Structure 1
């Protein structure tokens, strides 16, 4: 029998806890008694813990009573994971993790593991909205931004919220084979393996900075005229700079090259049109500045992991 423990703290995200637990619970229907998962919850405080949605959950035991060598220890995310430090929990994790076979996080639970120094030297991920924050806060971790989940040695981390279900399905597949995991996925009405990564959910471009500079003026001009052709030289001319100086200044201020910005802006414009209109792909490609459906399809597949048609089918 495999033992799985989920650590709970104030302001955790309820679905981060419930999604993976349901996967293991449903898997038990297909397993012999001695192969089933024994799932328990561990609380950082006595009494009920309030999830971020307002639901109160009574954990099976307080963390000071949890001294077992679990097969899998998971930390959910939620506002409490990235807004609070939870020093007693960090101390407990330092003692508990060496005893467990595998540990991991759901969504922003990675911030708690990071505060405990348990991400250093590992490939990890989290919800796409928080990857930049995770990178800055824990520079010794190798944060990947487009993965649904990652397993690196004895550490498993997942992207946002429902990605915890993907992580748990992967655990079931490793423990009991793909067939059992597929059966569980069918019960939950989820895909065993999703097409694409987190990029399909996250915008490629961040908002243009409010402070007016030659670079932000060029960015806003490009966004207003995406159906036109742009080159480094044209953008540099709009900023009254040489192409070389403009490229360096742009990369320093925006964190990407001018052409990466242009490509990302075009993909985001196309995504918006695919989600909100029934325009033919040829028209979407023209309005977004791709020039052809073929070019748009190539860049979508490369950056999003889906074709424009697949993206429209999933998100419109």
Structure 2
């Protein structure tokens, strides 16, 4: 490559407008969850590496300048307190697990309300949604939280919409269930920016993330957390369903095996799972099929048969209706789902 050519390209490159750097703040509370915090902040660092330029600057904020201890025992020194924080483009509240109700003083709540008034997008990682709800900043928004705290949040804040999704991106509110789900959420936010799809895909590669989960994916809530020990028959029926996805069992037999009538079985599913037995069984089969589509090289026909569908056509119809994309379309989307 000649020097003249290099110089021209350098000139052209320097004249190209650079996107403004976004300053992303992470408000850490005492006993905050380390994995959710690290998964989000490292994703933004990898996005900068993938873009070969500084797109995101991350800053750590706390109530004061004192070190903050995480749930793991690790201590972190904040860059700023809420009193001297710089202008921020987005702020994520990194919550505790379990929730500590007295965390989040009136000063913190007022600071978050001030940011909301300034139209700064706000997010919650793990139980960060709890503090946003306490600040009355989630009304009218869809949000999520770690599955262990869904019912408690619903009970305390009946006016907000809480889902079982891994994460929710609703206008200027970004919430996730915690753990590595904050990586999925952050990659999706990166992908939303102009030219961000390729950057997010490359960042996922750098993170050794073979599949980025989309907004429509739900947390896998253990059935024992939903039912406790009060419904052993229902738990047994679901266990039988999970063990028989390829050769499905009819409702009459499922009921008989558990000394129930079909009507009693339907009542149990409706009361505790808000679905009919057939709907729940179908969701189990479709979820298993999705795992095979994304994590194996099996043909769609073989996956359909292994999950109890009589034909690929019927499987494709059910899959498209439930997930909003065909089985082949799911695979073609690759490792990053920009939904």
Tell whether the structures are fold-level matches, with TM greater than 0.5: yes
Q: Give the direction of change, closer, same or farther, for the CA distance of 1:306–1:188 in structure 2 (3 Å limit).
A: farther
Provide the alpha-carbon RMSD of the alignment: 4.6
| Partner residue, 2:90 | 72
Q: Give me the whole-angstrom Cα distance separating, in 1, the residues matched to 2:52 and 2:44.
A: 10
Q: Give me the whole-angstrom Cα distance separating, in 2, the residues matched to 1:285 and 1:77.
A: 41
- Show the 5 A alignment for 1:110-259: 110-127=129-146, 130-146=149-165, 148-178=166-196, 181-182=199-200, 185=203, 188-189=206-207, 194=212, 199=217, 202=220, 206-207=223-224, 209-211=228-230, 215=234, 229-236=248-255, 243-244=262-263, 246-259=265-278
Tell me, what secondary structure is at the counterpart of 1:65? Answer: coil
TM-superposition CA deviations, 1:6-32 (whole Å, max 9, x none): 101111122333333334445556477
TM-superposition CA deviations, 1:194-248 (whole Å, max 9, x none): 3555747626x61365346765665566667777654444445566666445423
**Which among 31, 44, 47 is matched to residue 11 of structure 1?**
31
- Unaligned runs of 5+ residues in structure 2 are 1-20
Q: Give the direction of change, closer, same or farther, for the CA distance of 1:218–1:168 in structure 2 (3 Å limit).
A: closer
Q: Give me the whole-angstrom Cα distance separating, in 2, the residues matched to 1:143 and 1:12.
A: 21
2:27–2:92 contact (8 Å) kept in structure 1: yes
Tell me, what secondary structure is at the counterpart of 2:127? Answer: helix
Q: Give the direction of change, closer, same or farther, for the CA distance of 1:93–1:253 in structure 2 (3 Å limit).
A: same
Q: Give me the whole-angstrom Cα distance separating, in 2, the residues matched to 1:158 and 1:40.
A: 19
Q: Give the direction of change, closer, same or farther, for the CA distance of 1:307–1:210 in structure 2 (3 Å limit).
A: farther
Q: Give the direction of change, closer, same or farther, for the CA distance of 1:224–1:168 in structure 2 (3 Å limit).
A: closer
1:6–1:41 contact (8 Å) kept in structure 2: yes
